[in-house]
Amino acid sequence: EHVRVFPLSNWTELDVWQYIAREKIELPQIYFAHQREVFRRGGMWLTAGDWGGPKDGESVEKRLVRYRTVGDMSCTGAVDSDATTLDA
């Protein structure tokens, strides 16, 4: 019999950040908020690029945002945030 356990599956984003702070894990600056050129699509802020955005009617603006996950910029949405440090 096999059992698969995912101990982090019920953690909130705040739980993750508190664990990172408690364990003093260093993070690359990419995880924190920066001024970035983004546009709005489907309720998300996306990074402008040759991959497909912005389209007609979508305007690029510079906003202070961060990404909750680090992945492919063509499909990873940003959130408004002023969290430029772990404590923030």
**Which domain covers residue 66, as residue numbers?**
13-80
- The residues, ordered by sequence, that sit 6+ positions from 13 with a Cβ below 8 Å of its Cβ are 68
**How many domains is the chain built from?**
1
What letter does residue 30 receive in the DSSP assignment? G
The pTM assigned to this predicted structure is 0.76
Residue 2: inside a domain: no
Tens-place pLDDT, residues 12-21: 989 999 999 9
Q: Which tokens sit at 36?
A: 């970035």
Residue 6: inside a domain: no
- Mean pLDDT, residues 11-34: 92
CA distance 24 to 63: 28
CA distance 16 to 66: 16
